[in-house]
Structure 1
Amino acid sequence: MKARMGIALAGLLVAGNAFAAGTTLNVGMGSADAGKLDPHVATSTPDKGLLHWMFSGLVRIKPGEASPEFIEPDIAKSWATSDDGLTWTFSLRDDVECHGDYGKIDAEDVVYSLKRSANPEVSAFAKDYTAFDSVEATGPLEVTIKLKNTVPSLLGLLVPYHGGNIVCKDAVEALGEEYQRTPIGTGPFMFAEYQPQQYVKLVANPEYYRGEPKIKEIYYRYIPSDSSRDLAFQAGEIDMIYGKQEQTWVERIQKVPGTKVTVMKPGEMSVIHLNMTMPPLDDVRVRRAVAHAINRDAMVQFKGPDVTLAALSPVPEGHLGFTADVPTYEYSIDKAKALLAEAGHPDGVTIKAIHTTLPGMLSTMEAVQALLREAGITLEIETVEHATFHEQIRKDMSQVTHYAAARFPVADVYLSQFFHSDATVGTETAIANFSHCAVADAEIAAARVETDPEKQLALWATAQQKIMDEVCAVPVVQSMQLWAWKDTLDLGVTVNGSLNLSPPVTEQAAFSE
């Protein structure tokens, strides 16, 4: 183990430093509080966005983009793969410093990080790494990954997103449980302070290997009220704002003088997961009635056609492996009521959902609630704070789960995490299969190891068809990420997207004079 001197939280604070005007960035996020700030544990959109600015991966997607076609070196300066695609060797940079006094990143840290990501007792993303056979330091600055079988996108698992975030081994071990509130990474900004239900403060990392950031501190402020957040932005109290995922928000904020509004990819796909083990949803006729009662066109108009796409399949449109050739359920109140009557519920049914108070998601669920009511389906919604929502749905406590997710844009990720039985919530290998779906296990597993691209696409298509025929879930809409910031803030890149769902605030970002 490398000799390093651990530091306390106070060692990262820079309180008292007098920063020049235009070097503090105030961000308004639409949630009540931080969740878990350990990057291998954090699953919520607000936490992922914040961690985006603190962590690095072996590789990364070019800032401002979201597609894997833009993958480039990060901590790894180069890599090579065997002809069979089962062995990958990464050569590391020698100038990547951990935040604080934890020393330089080397192969030991990378091996520790990836093994931690694959450990289901620690990581929320362990399922993504089941194809890993071994991860070894084959030199001080060399890491070799051996796979049990090929995977659709190995490099996609190594970007600083979910389990691909590289942590500093000594920091994690020294801080223990406190690491969830004191994240130590290697990115352009480092954690400085957390005030519950108020803000997380970050400061510039002077040792960042791409250069010291021009912005010296970031206040990531928790403002769950859309109207309060908008007012703070209009008053100049915050510089960058997380938007309500509705077109009316875009149209309103665009009118604020000196404002840049961005509609970013990837979209978070809102899916209504139906727990197939809980009556009355254990009857496919009831699940099909739910599908017929949801008017996707109305949902797109409600959210806004310029910022929303109708969702057809369990895999988002535009992702590798998506197919539109799936069973569809046209909006029909008559068909929904007929199916309910056939299932023995002529007077309708009541179903229940635990749901987040996050405004963008809640407005979507309330619109679905209104649509279902027309078909005699009463949806009772119990609202809880966002972090509590994530905890409770993963304990299999909700009959209906509305989950809005953006993942690495390959079909395997969505199918494996949401619709393979190994991912069923409440089990030892749980991820996010809230419906207890198992109808496409064979196709999902076969596609994961299929080396023929055409056969792999066919397997993914069959999996989507089976899931939709069984109505394990009802895809509703794909909502783009909406952000706005002052036009005096130059991020240094053109922003088309961000896999982490927050704008790329890097060492290049700066306020104009």
Structure 2
Amino acid sequence: MKKLLCMSVTGLLLGSAAFADGQTLTVGTNVADAGVLDPHSATSTADKGLLHWMFNGLVRIQPGQSNPDFIEPDIAKSWTTSADGLTWTFALRDDVDCHGDYGRIDANDVVYSLTRASDADRSAFAGDFAAISSIEATGDFEVTITLANQIPSLLGLLISYHGGNIVCQDAVEALGDNYAQTPIGTGPFMFAEYQPQQFIRLVANPEYFRGEPQIKEIVYRYIPSDSTRDLAFQSGELDMMTGRQDQIWAERIKKVEGANLVLMSPGEMSVLSLNKTMAPLDNILVRQAIAHAINREELVAFRGADVIVPAISPVPEGNLGYTDDVPQYAHSVDRAKALLAEAGYPDGVTIQTIHTNNPGMLPTMEAVQAQLARAGINMDITVVEHSTFHEQIRKDLSQVVHYSALRFPVADVYLSQFFHSDAIVNTPSGVTNFSHCSVADAQIEAARAETDATRQLALWAEAQAAIMEDLCAVPLFQARLLWVWNDKLDLGVEVAGSLNLSPPVTELARFTD
């Protein structure tokens, strides 16, 4: 373990500074409070977006992009791969410092980080790393990763997102349980202060290896009310904010003077997972009735065609391995009612769901609730705060889970995290398989190791067809991420998308006036 320097972490975290106009970026997000800020445990959209500005991975997707074609070095400066694709060796930069006095990142920190990300007791993303058989420091600034079998994209696991975020071992061990609310990273901005249900304050990292940020402070405010957030932006209290994922909002905000609206790609995949272990959803006829009762075109009209794209497969359109050759369930209230009667429920059924109060998600679930009611399916919604929602659905407490996710755009990621039995929630390796789906395990596993690209695509297609045949979940739509910032803020890059769920605020960002 590296020796800590003299400055205390308390001084770093609690120190306050007043910055001149043009040096503070104020951001409004649409949740009521922070959840978990440990990057290996954070699962909520708002938390991951904030961590985007604080952490690095071995590699990253070029800021402003979301396509794997734009992967580039981050903490790793280069890498080599063995002929069989099972051994990857990463040469690290030797000038990456942890925030505060936690020393320089070296191979031991990287090994610690990825080992921690692979541990189900310490990481929400452990299942993603199942194919890794060893992670070793093969030099002070060299790490070798060995795979048990080939996977579609190791680099996709090592970007600065989810388990790929590199943490500082000394900081994690020194802060213990407090690390979840006082994250220490290596990125352009450092954690400084947290006021519950109000804001988190970040300050510029003067030792950032790509250069000191031009913006000196970020105030990340928790404003769950859309109208309050909109008024704060229009009055100049906010420089940037999370937008509402519907077209009416987008058209209105575009008319605000000085507003720069960006619809980022790829879209979040919105899916209704059906817990097959809970009656009446253990009856496939009931699951089929739900699928037929849902009207995607109505949902698109409700949210807006520029913002929403209907989904028919459990893998998002545009991902490597996507297919539309899957069983489909045309909207038909009469068919839904007939299926319920055949299942032994001629008078309808009642199902339960726990749902977030996030204003970007709740209206969709209320619209689905109204659609189901037409077919005699009563869906009782228990609304909870967003972080509580994530906690409770992972304890397997909800019959129906409406979940929106943006992942590395390869079919294996969505299939493994949402539909492989290893990912069933409330189990040691649980991730986000809320339906207890297992019908496509064989195809998912075979595709991971398949070296023939054509055969791999076929296996992914078979998996998607099996999942839709068994109706583990009902895909709803893909919703693009809407962010708006004032036109005096120059992020230094063109923003087409972001897997990290927030725009790239890097050392390049600045105010132009």
The answer as to whether partners of 2:57 and 2:74 remain within 8 angstroms in 1 is: yes
- Give the length in aligned residue pairs: 512
**Counterpart in the other structure of 1:407:** 407
**Counterpart in the other structure of 1:270:** 270
Deviation at 1:422, TM superposition (A): 1.2
How high is the TM-score relative to the length of structure 2? 0.99
In the aligned structure 1, how far is the partner of 2:61 from the partner of 2:270? 24
Deviation at 1:427, TM superposition (A): 1.4
Q: Are 1:9 and 2:18 an aligned pair?
A: no
Deviation at 1:4, TM superposition (A): 2.0
1:162-311 to 2 correspondences below 5 Å: 162-311=162-311
Deviations 1:330-360 (A, max 9, x none): 1100110110111111111110100000011
In the aligned structure 1, how far is the partner of 2:41 from the partner of 2:504? 21
In the aligned structure 2, how far is the partner of 1:469 from the partner of 1:9? 55
**Counterpart in the other structure of 2:480:** 480
How high is the TM-score relative to the length of structure 1? 0.99
Deviations 1:10-65 (A, max 9, x none): 323441x3422201000000000000000000000000000000000000000000
The secondary structure found in structure 1 opposite 2:478 is: strand
The answer as to whether partners of 1:55 and 1:185 remain within 8 angstroms in 2 is: yes
**Counterpart in the other structure of 2:74:** 74
Deviations 1:273-293 (A, max 9, x none): 011111111110110000000
In the aligned structure 2, how far is the partner of 1:152 from the partner of 1:435? 24
**Counterpart in the other structure of 2:504:** 504
Q: Which AA in structure 2 matches 1:336? A: A
The answer as to whether partners of 1:54 and 1:188 remain within 8 angstroms in 2 is: yes
The answer as to whether partners of 2:9 and 2:100 remain within 8 angstroms in 1 is: no
1:59-458 to 2 correspondences below 5 Å: 59-458=59-458
In the aligned structure 1, how far is the partner of 2:107 from the partner of 2:411? 31
Identity over aligned pairs, percent: 68
Deviations 1:89-131 (A, max 9, x none): 0011111010001111111100100000001110000000011
Q: 1:369 to 1:258 in 2, by over 3 A?
A: same
In the aligned structure 2, how far is the partner of 1:93 from the partner of 1:385? 41
Q: Which AA in structure 1 matches 2:208? A: Y
Deviations 1:312-339 (A, max 9, x none): 1000000011000000001100110110
Provide the alpha-carbon RMSD of the alignment: 0.8
Deviation at 1:266, TM superposition (A): 1.9
The answer as to whether partners of 1:314 and 1:475 remain within 8 angstroms in 2 is: yes
In the aligned structure 2, how far is the partner of 1:366 from the partner of 1:408? 29
In the aligned structure 1, how far is the partner of 2:349 from the partner of 2:2? 61
Deviation at 1:448, TM superposition (A): 1.0
In the aligned structure 2, how far is the partner of 1:95 from the partner of 1:506? 18
Q: Which AA in structure 1 matches 2:114? A: L
User: Which range moves more in the overlay, 396-405 or 1-10?
Assistant: 1-10
The secondary structure found in structure 1 opposite 2:360 is: helix
The answer as to whether partners of 2:66 and 2:498 remain within 8 angstroms in 1 is: yes
The secondary structure found in structure 2 opposite 1:123 is: coil
User: Which range moves more in the overlay, 43-52 or 421-430?
Assistant: 421-430
In the aligned structure 2, how far is the partner of 1:427 from the partner of 1:78? 37
Task: Point out 4+ residue stretches in structure 1 off by more than 3 angstroms.
Answer: none
In the aligned structure 1, how far is the partner of 2:222 from the partner of 2:318? 32
In the aligned structure 2, how far is the partner of 1:475 from the partner of 1:136? 40
The secondary structure found in structure 1 opposite 2:297 is: helix
Give the gaps of 5 or more residues in structure 1: none
The answer as to whether partners of 1:14 and 1:203 remain within 8 angstroms in 2 is: no
Q: Which AA in structure 1 matches 2:306? A: D
The secondary structure found in structure 2 opposite 1:128 is: helix
In the aligned structure 2, how far is the partner of 1:437 from the partner of 1:108? 37
The answer as to whether partners of 1:490 and 1:511 remain within 8 angstroms in 2 is: yes
In the aligned structure 1, how far is the partner of 2:289 from the partner of 2:98? 53
The secondary structure found in structure 2 opposite 1:135 is: strand
Deviation at 1:260, TM superposition (A): 0.2
Q: Which AA in structure 2 matches 1:147? A: L
In the aligned structure 1, how far is the partner of 2:51 from the partner of 2:8? 20
The secondary structure found in structure 2 opposite 1:227 is: helix
Q: Are 1:21 and 2:21 an aligned pair?
A: yes
In the aligned structure 1, how far is the partner of 2:457 from the partner of 2:205? 43
Deviations 1:412-451 (A, max 9, x none): 1111111111111121111111111111111011111111
Q: Are 1:494 and 2:494 an aligned pair?
A: yes
In the aligned structure 1, how far is the partner of 2:15 from the partner of 2:234? 28
The answer as to whether partners of 1:30 and 1:224 remain within 8 angstroms in 2 is: yes
The answer as to whether partners of 1:266 and 1:501 remain within 8 angstroms in 2 is: no
In the aligned structure 2, how far is the partner of 1:371 from the partner of 1:335? 13
The answer as to whether partners of 2:91 and 2:141 remain within 8 angstroms in 1 is: yes
In the aligned structure 1, how far is the partner of 2:18 from the partner of 2:430? 47
Deviations 1:183-222 (A, max 9, x none): 0000000000000000000000000000000000000000
